[in-house]
Amino acid sequence: MLAKVTSFALVGLDGIPVEVEADINRGMTSYELVGLPDAAVKESKERIYSAIHNSRMRFPVNRITVNLAPADIKKEGSHYDLPIALAILKAGEQIGGADFGGLVMMGELALDGSIRPVSGILPALISAKKRGFTKFIIPAKNANEAAYIEGVEVYALNTLSEAVALVTGERRFSPVETKSFTAVLKSSSYGTDMALVKGQQIAKRALEIAVAGWHNILLSGPPGAGKTMLARCIPTIMPDLTFEEALEVTQIHSVAGDLSEEGIISLRPFRTPHHTATTVSLCGGGNSKIKPGEISKAHKGVLFLDELPEYSRSALEALRQPLEDKQITVSRAGGAVTFPADFMLCASMNPCPCGNYGSTFKECTCTPAQIKKYRAKISGPLLDRIDLQVEVDGVKYEELASEEGGESSAEIKKRVEKARAIQRERFGSPMTNASMGEREIKKYCQLSPDCERILKSAFERLSLSARARSRIIKVARTIADLDYSAEIKPQHILEATSYRNFDVKEQ
């Protein structure tokens, strides 16, 4: 007899329905699995065999053929165990009355017959829903991932026997209850706050501007100045993730297989790849299954590159294109996959090799040539995409011991949200100031003659490089937004020019 079950294959974040067909005929005992399975899928036979036996059922002894259609897509991962097992049972007429119509299932089997969690449930669920599927069987441990999708009937089950009971109608199960995203949002916290950072008013202000306009930022400062701590506070002043954004982010992490118990990501990601990271680990890739890299995992959040000059040149240069396009297309021989990568880049570095350039209490021992060489490690085109470059102060002992903290993240966040609202209204889309092109700059950043004059003299006096111009204007636009000012005023331009340490042609 022939049996058919539907499952899903993932290509990037896209789910493609896969028909799992099992056919049992008379003949010499054999088991054939066809349809471009990879090693993990091929090995499923042994797991299925034991799982069926240990669920007090019988693995048919006949000529078994299992086909995964369409046969031209490579099938990867362990989530075909459950559909294959059920298809075999039905084809062997042990669960003859089972109804698989419109049902999508995914799950890995353990030898004892229990269902293990798998990665990529959420993106598969979302694409299946788009294709009209509404009924699902998934591993119980993945239940939370499915809990935020409305309009679907999801059964999160623990064992193969339960799955059998469900499809044969022996037992009734209640579908996973939908949870409210706002409740999760309220209960989650970043565990840090701007109020905990002592001093650093310039850097805090710069971070506020950066977040308000979604500008990338470079923090430079002596070792131990608190660059990392500041960076960790960035997500705390970002507007909360919307449900749609959260789903997008969760899908990426679901594919990467690093979702937590909660099932949905409600906090903005903060990724800190070490400087030994390879290009592939940053951008995504992989041998058979293409997985998202750090920049995609930082989608809608912060990618923090500590000690920027220490990263390999090729890894840094690879960031340039995603920084522009907000997504990355990873191409391999097996195909191309596009992952979203709309992250805010926050990088940190020392001002010079010894780290004490500009420090008030330690003398810098570097020669100008050494400093130049150190800074030249970051290419101009990459620096071009970093709108704000700020110095972080070295902290003295007295400051650390003092009580004075400053504004809390919540207060800053309120201002950021208002500035974002202004931007949404201006562009009529979720676009931000940082992604303005020349056309938008011309349209929305009209400079008064006064501002033009200041900008011109700034360029002459401070020997700024020409490409700093549009960057300064964009940042000035954001500062004006934070100031609720419709036009860019001279003081906005002036403040913007002060966040441009590295643009000065040379010191």
Partner 1 sequence: MTYSQSELGYIIADSLEGFTYKQKACFLAAVCGKRGEHIKYEQILIKSVGGGVYNKMRALFSSEAYRAQILERLDARGIVCVTPESAEYPERLANIPAPPHVLYCRGRTSLLKGECLGIVGSRRTPASTLAACKKFAGEISRVMTVVTGVADGADSAAVKGGLESGNIICVLPGGMDHIYPSSNSSLLKSVEERGLIISEWQPHIAVQRYMFTVRNRIIAGLSRGVLVVSAPKKSGALITANYAADYGREVFAFPHSLGISAGEGCNELIKNGAALCTNPLDILGAFGLEYKAEQQPLTPGERKVLCFLKDNGRSHVQAVAAGVGVMAFEAVTLLSSLEIKGLVARCGGNNYEAV
**Residue nearer to partner 1 on the CB measure, 76 or 208:** 208
Phi, psi at 317, each rounded to 5°: -65, -30
- Nearer to partner 1 (CB atom), residue 253 or residue 477: 477
Instruction: Please tell me whether residue 312 binds partner 1 under the rule CB under 8 A.
Output: no
Residue from the set 134, 314, 379, 507 that interacts with partner 1 by CB under 8 A = 507
Q: Nearest approach, Cβ of 500 to partner 1 (angstroms)?
A: 10
Residue 188 is a binding residue for partner 1 (CB under 8 A): no
Q: How would DSSP label each residue in 4-30?
A: EEEEEEEETTEEEEEEEEEEEESSS-E
Q: Does 506 bind partner 1 (CB under 8 A)?
A: yes
Residues 462-501 that bind partner 1 (CB under 8 A): 462-463, 491, 494-495, 497-498
- 360 touching partner 1, by CB under 8 A: yes
Out of 83, 199, 213, 285, point to the residue binding partner 1 (CB under 8 A): 199
Site for partner 1 in 96-135 (CB under 8 A): none
CA distance 485 to 164: 64
Residue with Cβ nearer partner 1 (209 or 328): 209
299 CB-side CA count, 13 A: 27
HSE, CB side, 13 Å, CA atoms: give it for residue 236.
Answer: 21
Instruction: Pick the closest to residue 122 from 40, 18, 238, 244 (CA basis).
Output: 244
Pairing status of strand 14-25 against strand 2-11: antiparallel
Question: CA-CA distances (angstroms) from residue 244 to 215, 250, 269, 274, 421?
Answer: 22, 10, 15, 29, 17
Q: How far is the CB of 391 from partner 1 (least distance, A)?
A: 5
**Interface residue with partner 1, options 25, 180, 201, 331 (CB under 8 A):** 201
320, 382 in Cβ contact below 8 A? yes
Using the minimum distance from each CB to partner 1, give the nearer residue, 138 or 392. 392
Supply 62's token pair: 């006949």
| Shortest distance, position 418 Cβ to partner 1, whole Å | 17
Regarding 277 and contact with partner 1 (CB under 8 A), the answer is: no
The only residue of 175, 239, 353, 358 in contact with partner 1, by rule CB under 8 A: 358
Is the Cβ–Cβ distance between 149 and 179 less than 8 Å? no
User: Can you tell me whether residue 46 is helix, strand or coil?
Assistant: helix
> CA 458, 389, 212: angle at the middle one, nearest 5?
100
Segment near partner 1 (CB under 8 A); pick from 167-175, 261-269, 276-284, 457-465: 457-465
Cis status, amide bond into 273, omega within 30 of 0: no
226 binds partner 1 (CB under 8 A): no
Q: Which is nearer to partner 1, 234 or 496 (CB)?
A: 496
CB nearer to partner 1: give 119 or 350: 350
Q: Does 369 bind partner 1 (CB under 8 A)?
A: yes
- Six-digit token pair at 19? 């028909």
| Shortest Å, Cβ 416 to partner 1 | 15
Total residues binding partner 1 (CB under 8 A): 32
Query: In what order do the strands lie in the sheet containing 388-391?
Result: 270-271, 302-305, 344-349, 217-220, 388-391
CB of 337 to partner 1, least distance (A): 42
Binding site residues, partner 1, CB under 8 A = 199, 201-202, 205, 221-222, 351, 357-360, 364, 367-369, 372, 391, 393-394, 454, 457-458, 461-463, 491, 494-495, 497-498, 506-507
